[in-house]
Chains A and B, each alone.
Chain A
Amino acid sequence: MSGISNMKNSNVSEKSKGVLIFAKNTETIDYVAIARRAEQLINHYLNLPVTIVEPTVESTTNVRYNIDSNKFEQWNNSGRYQAYELSPYDQTILLDSDYLVMDDNLLKILEVTDDYKIAGSNDYINQPTSNSIGKYSLESLWATVIVFNKTPKSKMLFDLVKRIEKYYAYYSKLYNFPRGNYRNDYAFTIADNMLNGYIQDSSNYIPWAIKTVNQQVNNIVLRDNQLIIKTKDQGYVIPKQNLHIISKEFLLSDQCEQLIKEATNA
C-alpha cells in the first residue's frame, strides 16, 4: 500500500505546543507586564498556551541604551539557554517579551520544524539592517524568535549557547566581534554555526524577516487591517503583522493596551 494518506502514524500521541517568554523586571522596566500583554495577542492569534518564565541565572552587568529615556539602563538577557529545560512543551515558540504577535505565520514554522528554526533576518522599519555580528564575521541570527522541538540537536544548540554565554569574551575574539554587552543574537548565531559544521546554513532559518520598530514610538493604531505607526520622526502604514517593538515605554502605555484590545477584537 502506498500513498501519502498512509504516512501518518495514529499511534503517535499529539505533541504539546506552546509559547515561552522570558521576562525579568529591571529597576526601570516592568518586563513581566510587557510579557502579559504579548500573551494576550498570542492567545488570540496562535491559540497556544503561554508560559512566562524568569531566568534563574544571575544577571550580568549588561546595560543598553533606552531610546525612550535616552539613558543607559540595566538590561537582563542572561540565561536564555535555560529555555530548553524550562519549556513545558514538546514544541516551543520562544519569543522576546517585546515581540507582538498579530498574525498566525509562526504556526507554519511550528509545523515544519524538526529541531529548531531561528529568525535569520531582521528588517528595521526605517532603515536597512546591518546583519553582521562583526565587520569580518558571521551574518547575525535573531534570538527574538526561535522555534524548537525537544530533540538532541536542539539541546546541543542551547548547551552551546550556555557555553558561549559563559565564555563570551573568548568567543568574541574567536568570532571577531566587539565584546560589549552579552547578546543572545550573537550566542545563537555562533551556536548554530558550530552545530552545522562551521557553515551558515539557512535550513534552520525562518524564511522571512522579523520586522522591528527600533525608534521611539508615539502611537500604533490598528485601522482597517493596517497598522499606522507614528514614531518620533516618521509615520508608517503597514499591513497588520508581527512586530518587534524596541520602545518599552510604548509597550507599557495605554496606547499599546488599546492596540491590543483592537487587535484581539478584530
Chain B
Amino acid sequence: MSTPEQIVDQIKVATDYQKNKKQLKEKILTDLHVTYNGGLFLITTDLISFLATWTNEELFLEDVYNNPIKVKREELLTKAKECYQAVMNEWHIEHEKLKRVRKI
C-alpha cells in the first residue's frame, strides 16, 4: 500500500496533459513547413484556399522569410495538400494517444 509521500512523488512525476498538448502542437507546426523552389512555406488552410481559388497558373507568393517565391499553383497546391493531410492526420493520432495517457 502506498504511503502519502509515495503518492505525492507519483503525482509529481505524472505527466501534464496541457503541457504535452502544447508540445504536440508546436511539433505539428514545425512539420507543417514545406520547402518549395528555394522558399519555405507554412501550410495553412488560408494558403491552401488561396492556391485552390487563384486563377493564374504561375504566381509569386511570400514565404516565411518574406521572400517572393515564384510558384506553379497546381504544383504547390498538391504539395501543400499532401503535407497538410499527412501532418493533420498525425496530429489527430498523436492527440488521441495523449488523451489516453494519465493526465493531471
Contacts and interface: CB of A to CB of B under 8 A. Distances in A.
Given A112-B39, A112-B65, A207-B40, A235 B23 contact: no
B27 A233 contact: no
A3 interface: yes
Contact of A233 (B12, B20, B34): B12
Interface in B66-104: 66, 70-72, 90, 94, 97-98, 101
18 contacts: A4-B71, A7-B37, A108-B34, A108-B40, A112-B63, A112-B65, A125-B19, A208-B26, A208-B33, A209-B26, A225-B94, A234-B15, A234-B16, A236-B16, A236-B19, A236-B23, A238-B20, A238-B23
A239 interface: yes
Contact of B13 (A125, A208, A230): A230
A76 to B, nearest CB: 31
A226 interface: yes
B30 A241 contact: yes
A57 interface: no
Interface residues of A, number: 30
B19 to A, nearest CB: 7
A239 B23 contact: yes
A203 interface: yes
Contact of A235 (B14, B28, B29, B65): B14
Given A208-B29, A238-B23, 11 more contacts: A4-B37, A4-B71, A7-B70, A108-B34, A111-B35, A112-B38, A208-B33, A235-B15, A236-B19, A237-B15, A241-B30
Nearest to A209: B26
A54 interface: no
A105 B33 contact: yes
B58 A4 contact: yes
Contacts of A7: 37, 70
A247 to B, nearest CB: 15
Given A233-B13, A234-B15, A239 B72 contact: no
Interface of B: 12-16, 19-20, 23-24, 26-31, 33-35, 37-40, 42, 58, 63-66, 70-72, 90, 94, 97-98, 101
Contacts of B15: 234-237
B27 A112 contact: no
Nearest to B102: A235
Nearest to A207: B64
Contacts of B40: 108-109, 111-112, 207
Contact of B98 (A103, A209, A211, A237): A237
A258 to B, nearest CB: 20
Most buried by B among A112, A126, A235, A239: A239
Contacts of A105: 30-31, 33
B30 A236 contact: no
